[in-house]
């Protein structure tokens, strides 16, 4: 179980170049894909988005980001099945775009998760304060940090099992909310609740479907991006799966259902049940406040006794899950950076239990930043930490799309055909172009909001306003410059891209037989195969 002194000694041999354990099962990958990234951004951040843009904006922006992430994950799936490497998507940037850009994306991703960890610990502490506000939040930060440390003692299986069961809880909670929401909208709530008669879509008429006009639409995009952060972890986890070529395509397909059923339909009911002018959406403290969750507000207004506490418990599980994902994603990427010579070599240390030991410890130490909240200047510090990570995921996703485009170009340039790719993105290279364009438009929208923040009445904001919204861009540029001087390499030409080294050997006889069998299915059955 990885708890003996012997287990912490360095692992020196493996059947392949990847010294990490290969113990993730298909059920783990499926649940990481379908529920792994559902956390505070969805349960709590959606309230802030509703306040900024209104119910129609909430749906539009999340749907647009859903289309983008759908294409990103399929592009990642195609690359991960072809090249199952430790470190995942950062190494694809190095291999197919530019080694110095890969350096930037790797460190960008490490710091994104290192900053998310203390944030989630603080949110978890305030979540417990919903029931007992008298206990200092520092106590709960300590308790949950210790819990995450214990989970990581058990390595990838600790992460996988925690994600599996927490994802089941989160998905069950969203399904329950959608059922309850439908009943409340139709007027089936308790008699003392405000939904005791037919409620319908009245909030879309008064106060209205949109709020703050075009600026509101632009402002909600980053909240939606934060809510989808972590979706790409399924590609990172593929390196530790028993059989990635078999398990990963099925897991990738689940993303469609998470976007459609859980995000879009769940947020539809949020917009129907909670007014965008409700002051409670703003929260009572400067951090993410669970009392501001529209899921909790809807339950309170309906007079459902105990349901708000149930949703609060689900939010607690979610934030701990995302914090644990932060340790996993950050540590694996840091280890890959060290293996590629982009980070100090001791971070490449993997013990006999398959844990990237020093990388995991380094990310866990960032959790101690959560104690900053105990000081009077805590909120200010956290604002700047969030500014560092706010747009980080967008750069990661854009790099995945660009890497896929570049891979396809080099693949064709070297005489290969699409039939030689075992798992193909649904919309091919066009989907990656669409994802890349959408990410660019979101960055432009956020730039506009950084210059002209909400509430400034059309006036340009201060330098502080701008950098709190857009600090991630100059940070990425600095990383890119550092990567250039570190490796002295630039943009790769198509002829320089190696598409053969490290490519997985596949059983084409089995794949062709499966393709022939699928081709013989009736149309409805073929559709079901591609969706499930």
Q: Which domains does the chain have, with CATH numbers?
A: 19-402+424-483 (1.20.1740.10)
Is residue 58 within 8 Å of residue 267, measured between CB atoms?
A: yes
The distance in angstroms from the start CA to the end CA of the chain is 34
By three-state DSSP, how is residue 12 classified? Answer: coil
Does this model's pTM top 0.75? My answer is: yes
The pLDDT assigned to 7 comes to 67
Q: Rounded to 5 degrees, what angle do the CA atoms 185, 190, 192 make?
A: 110
Q: List the one residue out of 191, 196, 174, 181 whose CA is nearest residue 274.
A: 181
User: Which segments of 111-267 are extended strands (E)?
Assistant: none
Q: List the one residue out of 303, 278, 271 whose CA is nearest residue 201.
A: 271
Q: How far apart are CA 470 and CA 450, in angstroms?
A: 7
Q: How far apart are CA 416 and CA 494, in angstroms?
A: 14
Digits of tens for pLDDT over the chain (532 positions)?
566 776 666 666 655 555 565 666 777 777 777 776 777 778 888 888 888 889 999 999 988 988 898 899 889 888 888 887 766 678 888 889 998 998 999 999 898 888 888 888 888 888 888 788 888 888 999 999 999 998 888 877 778 888 888 888 888 888 898 998 898 888 877 765 666 677 888 889 888 888 888 888 888 888 888 788 877 777 776 666 656 666 677 777 777 777 777 788 889 999 999 988 888 887 655 555 667 788 888 888 888 888 888 888 888 888 888 888 888 888 888 988 888 888 888 888 887 777 888 899 999 999 988 888 777 666 677 777 777 777 888 999 999 999 999 999 999 999 888 888 888 888 899 999 999 999 999 999 888 888 888 777 667 878 887 887 888 888 889 989 988 887 777 788 888 888 888 777 766 677 677 777 777 878 777 776 666 6
Residues 72, 73, 79, 81: what is their CA dihedral angle, to the nearest 10 degrees? Answer: -170
* Separation of CA 341 from chain center: 26
Burial of 360 (0-12, 13-18, 19+ CB in 10 A): buried
Give, for 28, the enclosing helix (H) or strand (E): helix 26-35
**DSSP secondary structure of 340-400:** TTSS-GGGG--BTTS--HHHHHHHHHHGGGGGGGGSTTHHHHHHHHHHHHTTHHHHHHHHH
The pLDDT assigned to 242 comes to 59
User: For residue 283, what is the DSSP state?
Assistant: -
Burial of 427 (0-12, 13-18, 19+ CB in 10 A): middle
Tokens of 515: 């393709």
Q: How many helices (H) and strands (E) does the chain have?
A: 22, 0
């Amino acid at each position: 179980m990885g708890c003996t002194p012997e287990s912490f000694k360095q692992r020196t041999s493996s059947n392949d170049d990847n010294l990490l354990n290969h113990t993730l099962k298909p059920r783990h990958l499926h649940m990481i894909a379908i529920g792994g990234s559902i956390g505070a951004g969805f349960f709590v951040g959606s309230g802030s988005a509703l306040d900024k843009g209104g119910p129609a904006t909430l749906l539009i922006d999340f749907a647009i980001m859903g289309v983008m992430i759908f294409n990103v994950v399929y592009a990642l799936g195609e690359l991960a099945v072809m090249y199952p490497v430790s470190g995942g998507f950062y190494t694809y940037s190095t291999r197919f775009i530019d080694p110095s850009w890969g350096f930037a994306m790797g460190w960008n991703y490490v710091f994104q998760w290192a900053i998310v960890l203390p944030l989630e610990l603080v949110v978890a502490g305030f979540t417990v304060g919903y029931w007992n506000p008298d206990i200092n939040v520092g106590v709960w930060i300590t308790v949950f940090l210790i819990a995450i440390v214990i989970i990581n003692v058990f390595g990838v299986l600790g992460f996988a099992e925690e994600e599996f069961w927490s994802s089941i809880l989160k998905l069950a909670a969203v399904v329950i909310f959608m059922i309850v929401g439908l009943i409340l909208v139709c007027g089936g709530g308790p008699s003392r609740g405000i939904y005791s008669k037919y409620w319908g879509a009245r909030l879309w008429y008064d106060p209205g479907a949109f709020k703050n006009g075009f600026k509101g639409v632009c402002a909600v995009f980053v909240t939606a991006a934060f809510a989808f952060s972590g979706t790409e972890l399924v590609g990172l986890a593929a390196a530790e799966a028993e059989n990635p070529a078999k398990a990963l395509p099925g897991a990738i397909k689940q993303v469609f259902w998470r976007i459609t059923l859980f995000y879009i339909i769940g947020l539809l009911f949020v917009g129907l049940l909670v007014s965008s002018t409700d002051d409670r959406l703003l929260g009572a403290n400067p951090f993410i406040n669970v009392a501001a969750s529209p899921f909790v507000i809807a339950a309170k207004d309906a007079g459902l006794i105990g349901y708000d506490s149930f949703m609060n418990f689900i939010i607690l599980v979610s934030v701990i899950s995302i914090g644990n994902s932060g340790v996993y994603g950050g540590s694996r990427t840091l280890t890959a950076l060290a293996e590629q010579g982009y980070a100090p070599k001791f971070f490449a240390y993997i013990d006999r239990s398959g844990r990237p030991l020093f990388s995991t410890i380094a990310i866990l130490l960032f959790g101690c930043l959560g104690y900053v909240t105990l000081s009077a200047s805590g909120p200010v510090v956290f604002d700047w930490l969030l500014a560092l990570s706010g747009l980080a995921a967008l750069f990661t996703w854009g790099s995945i799309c660009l890497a896929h485009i570049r891979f396809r170009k080099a693949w064709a340039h070297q005489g290969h055909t699409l039939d030689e790719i075992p798992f193909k993105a649904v919309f091919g290279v066009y989907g990656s172009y669409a994802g890349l364009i959408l990410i660019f438009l979101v960055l432009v929208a956020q730039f506009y909001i950084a210059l002209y923040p909400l509430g400034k009445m059309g006036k340009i904001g201060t330098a502080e306003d701008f950098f709190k919204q857009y600090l991630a861009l100059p940070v990425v540029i600095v990383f890119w410059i550092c990567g250039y001087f570190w490796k002295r390499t630039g943009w790769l030409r198509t002829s320089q891209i190696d598409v053969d080294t490290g490519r997985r050997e596949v059983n084409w006889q089995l794949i062709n037989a499966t393709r022939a069998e699928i081709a013989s299915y009736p149309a409805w059955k073929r559709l079901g195969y591609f969706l499930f």
